[in-house]
Amino acid sequence: MKPAVLLVARLPDSLVGRLRERFDCHVLAELDDAGLAALAPRLRGMVATGESVVARELIACLPALEVISVLGVGYDGIDMAAARERKVVVAHTPGLSTDDIADFAMALLLAAARQVVNADRFVRSGGWTTGRFPMTRRVSGARLGIVGLGRIGRAVATRAQAFGMDIAYTGRTPKADMAYRWCIDARTLAASVDFLVVCASGGADTRALIDADVLAALGPTGVLVNIARGSIVDEDALVEALRERIILAAGLDVFCHEPHIAQGLLALENVVLTPHMASTTGATVQAMLDLTFDNLAAHFDGLPVPTPVA
């Protein structure tokens, strides 16, 4: 018999097709409580996304669960403590999107600082025929702060070096193999840079890490970019900082309650908003789909899972 697998998120049709060929797939959204309870003793696998919430309660009601394969790098929605207690293997798809996300971080940084979106609107509305667009913030040679110098943070730093930027970072501990300046916390970092790019992992430890104090330290010529997790930035504080010009601008690809965006952000012109698209190039998405399938298949083939969560 095919191993029974629970799909807890909306997945691309191409991946669902491959999964159905190999596994007995059941979609959580199509099950009521009785249906889930009836299937629970047979459900050995689960497929989720980086935005999925897999709570302790769900894990607890699946006694046969062995593996969770996450389509995405982040897994902060998975109750890892519950998974470890049950010895459930959790796998994800790290590394594949690093370059795309770092590219997009720089795109947002440039768009926010140079007001690319507003300039586009200015031209389309005929504003150029009556005057010049206002001057914008220079990027080259500026000071860049990175919150979280992991794979993506390092890739952002590499790109920033090409702009002649002076790079500093913060994280739990200094990186012995990195010559960039380390700051003890996000506020100290923000006070010493012009641009602050958030690349940290999500979760309880980083929730609202970028708060009103950090934004005030970044200052009225500072620009915030977030391509990590929406939960890392206090959105109410950010709306206030942008509205009152406590900071100059922001570029955001992630949000606290996406796809629902705070009305305060939507009303502002000094923020660039994109729909969590940093990693979604065709090549990267296909590689992530393949690895999501391979992680699940390897487990049931009795092979080491290619990319387990550490």
| Residues known to be catalytic | 229, 258, 276
Question: Any idea which residue has 């394969």 for tokens?
Answer: 69
Running DSSP on this structure, what letter comes out for residue 248? S
CA dihedral 232, 236, 237, 239 (to 10 degrees): 110
Provide the pairing of β-strand 67-71 with 89-91: parallel
β-strand pairing of 249-252 with 181-183: unpaired
Question: How many C-beta atoms lie closer than 10 Å to residue 81's C-beta?
Answer: 10
Instruction: State both tokens at 201.
Output: 């992992």
User: Helices (H), strands (E): how many in the chain?
Assistant: 12, 12
DSSP label of 256: T
SS3 156: helix
